[in-house]
Amino acid sequence: MEVTLFGSRLSPFVEKVARGLQLKGIAFELVPVKSPLDFKRWNPQTGKMPVLEIDGERIFDSTAILRRLEELVPEPRLHASDPATYARQRFIEDWSDESLYWYVMGCRWTDVNAGASAAQVADSIPLPDFVKPVMRIVLRHQIGGQATAQGLVRLPFEQLLDELGRRFDELLVFLDGRPFFFSDSPSVADLAIFGQLHTLQSGPTPQAARLVDERPLLGQYVRRVDEATRPGAQRRLAAAS
């Protein structure tokens, strides 16, 4: 099986898919963004990442990609076999993708962090040095504009952080002492949440990273998902058992 993942792992959705591939032990090639034109070239429908190509078949949208991986490589499971548990995991996945994501965007593109976020994205694209300052301005306008249109970034930053902290506390309630959401093994819910938290901890949003640090159980959860989804994690677990 020849698998190619298109996109930057700065994206929480690309990271979500990459972790799913690693969890299932599927070798893949990551093709990073080399030009802003890549987005529309790789995904003519929406111009969004990630895109996964499996033996020539291209799949768009992180949720659809993980569902397809589950069909091709059933174990280890990303979706609980119990319908009630699966429904809860899918709810968390969808909430993460459609709601938590905008908290991430709000933190990254608020005026306090927008410059650092634009620099991080621009620096991840192999452009000539003289182009990068212009690219940072374009990114701040385009991506920051999306966050502004959604609305959370228009909140006072301290209020946004307070609300994000409340969401983190609610996640811990849903975890309820389990190692992963509603299960003893990682699922699509964990991959989705990890992707968002990974982006928040990637550098330009130190205020959000501090919110995680202030919640030791949440920090432990992030490390647990990280360890379970690193390359070769399943082989190491099998060898230890």
DSSP state of 57: E
Q: What six digits make up the tokens of 169? A: 């506390």
Structural Rg of the chain based on CA atoms: 18
CA angle, 212 as apex, 63 and 92 as ends, to 5°?
Answer: 25
Q: Which strands, in side-by-side order, build the sheet including 29-31?
A: 29-31, 3-6, 51-54, 57-60
Q: Are 6 and 38 in contact (CB under 8 A)?
A: yes
Q: What six digits make up the tokens of 118? A: 């634009």
What pLDDT was estimated at residue 140? 85
Instruction: Enumerate domains of the chain plus CATH numbers.
Output: 3-72 (3.40.30.10), 83-240 (1.20.1050.10)
Torsion angle of alpha carbons 195, 28, 224, 68, nearest 10°? 70
What pLDDT was estimated at residue 6? 95
pTM greater than the 0.85 cutoff:
yes
Taking each helix axis as running N to C, give the angle between helix 188-200 and helix 101-109, from 0 to 180 degrees, rounded to the nearest 10. 10
Q: What six digits make up the tokens of 133? A: 């300052």
What pLDDT was estimated at residue 81? 94
Q: Are 56 and 10 in contact (CB under 8 A)?
A: no
| d(C-alpha 105, C-alpha 87), whole Å | 26
Please list the pLDDT of the chain residue by residue as tens digits (241 residues): 899 999 999 999 999 999 999 999 999 999 998 887 888 888 888 888 999 999 999 999 999 999 999 999 999 999 999 999 999 999 999 999 999 999 999 999 999 999 999 999 999 988 888 888 998 998 888 888 888 888 898 999 999 999 999 999 999 999 999 999 999 999 999 999 999 999 999 999 999 999 999 999 999 999 999 999 998 776 555 554 4
Neighbours of 70 (CB within 10 A): 17
Secondary structure tally for the chain: helices H, strands E: 12, 4
Judging by beta carbons within 10 Å of its beta carbon (0-12, 13-18, 19+), is residue 30 exposed, middle or buried? middle
Nearest to 10, CA basis, from 208, 203, 193, 223:
203
What pLDDT was estimated at residue 102? 97
Nearest to 190, CA basis, from 163, 233, 229:
229
Alpha helices, H only, 24-100? 38-42, 62-72, 83-95
Nearest to 118, CA basis, from 5, 9, 10, 196:
10
What pLDDT was estimated at residue 36? 77
List Cα–Cα distances, 235 to 15, 33, 56, 204, 221, in angstroms: 21, 30, 27, 34, 21
